[in-house]
Structure 1
Amino acid sequence: MSDEQRGDSLADQAAAWVPPWDRPRPTTAEDTPTPPDESAAPPDTSGGPDPVELASDEVGPGEPQHAEAASDEVASAEPDRGAANRVGSAGPDLGAVTKGTPGESGDAGDVPRRQQAGRRRVTAAPEPAPELSDTELRGALEAILLVVDEPVSELVLAQVLEQPAERVGPMLDEIAAGYTAAGHGFELRRAAGGWRLYTRPEYATYVERFVLDGQSVRLTQAALETLAVVAYKQPVTRSRISAIRGVNCDGVIRTLVTRGLIEECGTETDSGAFLYKTTTLFLEKLGLNTVNELPPLAPFLPDDVEELADATR
């Protein structure tokens, strides 16, 4: 057979070839074909070359055995349109594809979850705390003041009891006045910016005898003098304290800082030296609310203080 006859034979075979989806299928009870979906649009084959022409062009003279293979490859590349319409076919899960397609709703169970995730969670506002009666407020304040180890402010008490601060302040004043009128051995008073229970000064001797029992740790005369200078001149530098006392007071200042009676409060602008001031513990130990309640120094100064100052210069 010549090359021209072989080429004509291949062209005839390609022209007579029928795709698998157009071939007649035997009708059985288990496999009954369903009518094709008229709404489905046929695949667009205008953009690609004709599979028959592609197969015939690729097959050259002397290679007849590759013509059928090329035709089978083109046929296998086309989608099995009949398989999509057959019931019980082993085709791809169209539901899974539709579910994952962007812009589509997908699974019906996913829609409420997405809507729920997009909504803001609305929580009910906390109910306001019930307002305590005067008797309950008085008892609650007394219970807290019995266990505190440092003065507590009115604002903190109001936050703990969830009551307005306008009620807490007058109630504390009423409690303090009641203790004084009843003659109790303790009193409620302001100290270091807060409120705390204290023993009365007239019973201090008995309290000291019970608490200290000979184990009193007192400040030295040098420590008391240094603490007095800091209290009246604060904020003050270490060199200024030494100049007022006339001796070096570095060791005494370290002792007062260790006991928590004075603390650093910044540096001096000109020299950069540390400044010292009294602490809240100092006010608490003396029973003062602020340093403004310290007694004035004028009555304790000698009459010739100016002459002494001039002599020192």
Structure 2
Amino acid sequence: MFAQHRLARNDSSHRPANANPDGRHWLFRLRREERPVAFTLGGAHPECIRAPRMARVEAILFVSQTALSLRRIMQLATLADPQEARQILDQLNRAYDRVGSAFRIESVAAGYQLLTRPQYAFWLGKLHQRQAELKLTPPALETLAIIAYRQPLTRAEIEGIRGVQCVDMIKQLMDRGLVRIGGEDNSLGRPFLYETTRQFLELFGLRSLDALPMANSLRKPRPSAEPASEDTEGTADAAAA
């Protein structure tokens, strides 16, 4: 279509029959009017219709590199409230499920992200070599598991569990954005406390630390006043802003 438009402007002998005298095709005139368009996927079933607001939400999730909270989606897509954002996410997922789409909107890291389905990981790994880039050595993976389940904890506590020094492993995990310094311990010398990051949750597809395997039995007991998850929607909103 674009090639036709160029021919119509540069050579009147190739001008389409339905073009205006100035050489602009009528299809392009309709495009410039910017009328609201309902996009469809997999037929005209009502659940598959892309109204303008749904299309905006889908486009935002498509280009986002991180999980977005409902409030952040509402702001970016100019929606009425977070509840409308949640309803649109549910509608999009029903559309994806109906047509057997290769991707779906999943809840991760106190937010939402458009992700491919797990059964396609093998083929996508060939394309992006993701496994090679993100592969952790067994010592690094063991250190990460200790931090994930027992956080926040000091380097001495990590080394006490592993039985070996972990300085290099902790540095490697911090360089990859999986672990961060979350504060200081009240013990002598006030050593740093280490904890996992939001990127850790996103990478492993976890909604919160409570979604870790056997979290109830392996995670460090929390004080009764402490919330069940360190990654609340309010925290996600602050990070997204």
Q: Normalised by the size of structure 1, how large is the TM-score?
A: 0.51
Match of 1:153 in 2: 69
Once the two structures are TM-superposed, the CA of residue 135 in structure 1 deviates from its matched residue by 1.4
Alignment of 1:9-88 (within 5 A): none
Once the two structures are TM-superposed, the CA of residue 158 in structure 1 deviates from its matched residue by 1.1
In 2, the alpha carbon distance for the partners of 1:296 and 1:172 equals 29
In 2, the alpha carbon distance for the partners of 1:298 and 1:143 equals 37
- Give % identity: 35
Once the two structures are TM-superposed, the CA of residue 156 in structure 1 deviates from its matched residue by 1.2
Match of 2:79 in 1: 163
1:197 corresponds, among 114, 126, 146, to 114
Once the two structures are TM-superposed, the CA of residue 161 in structure 1 deviates from its matched residue by 2.6
Paired positions, count: 169
2:153 corresponds, among 215, 220, 236, to 236
Alignment of 1:88-237 (within 5 A): 135-165=51-81, 166-212=83-129, 215-237=132-154
In 1, the alpha carbon distance for the partners of 2:102 and 2:166 equals 39
| Contact residue 177 and residue 199 of structure 2 kept, 8 A | yes
In 2, the alpha carbon distance for the partners of 1:241 and 1:150 equals 29
Question: Which structure ranks higher in relative contact order (CA pairs < 8 Å, sequence separation ≥ 6)?
Answer: 2
Unmatched tracts of structure 2, length 5 or more: 1-37, 39-49, 219-241
Match of 2:234 in 1: none
Match of 1:257 in 2: 174
Q: Normalised by the size of structure 2, how large is the TM-score?
A: 0.65
Match of 2:193 in 1: 275
Give the SS at the match of 2:51: helix
Once the two structures are TM-superposed, the CA of residue 265 in structure 1 deviates from its matched residue by 0.5
Once the two structures are TM-superposed, the CA of residue 298 in structure 1 deviates from its matched residue by 8.1
| Contact residue 60 and residue 76 of structure 2 kept, 8 A | no
Once the two structures are TM-superposed, the CA of residue 157 in structure 1 deviates from its matched residue by 1.6
In 2, the alpha carbon distance for the partners of 1:242 and 1:214 equals 27
Instruction: Give the residue type in structure 1 aligned to 2:74.
Output: A
Flag the 1:299–1:182 CA change in 2: closer, same or farther, 3 A: farther
Unmatched tracts of structure 1, length 5 or more: 1-132, 301-313
Instruction: Give the residue type in structure 2 aligned to 1:264.
Output: I
Flag the 1:214–1:188 CA change in 2: closer, same or farther, 3 A: closer
Once the two structures are TM-superposed, the CA of residue 176 in structure 1 deviates from its matched residue by 1.9
Once the two structures are TM-superposed, the CA of residue 180 in structure 1 deviates from its matched residue by 2.5
Cα RMSD of the aligned pairs, angstroms, is 2.3
Match of 1:293 in 2: 211
Give the SS at the match of 1:227: helix
Flag the 1:234–1:168 CA change in 2: closer, same or farther, 3 A: same
**Cα displacement string for residues 277-307 of structure 1 (whole angstroms, at most 9, x for unaligned residues):** 100110010011111110106899xxxxxxx
In 2, the alpha carbon distance for the partners of 1:217 and 1:171 equals 32
In 1, the alpha carbon distance for the partners of 2:157 and 2:130 equals 38
Rg: which structure is higher? 1
| Contact residue 180 and residue 194 of structure 2 kept, 8 A | yes
Flag the 1:280–1:299 CA change in 2: closer, same or farther, 3 A: closer
Give the SS at the match of 1:260: coil
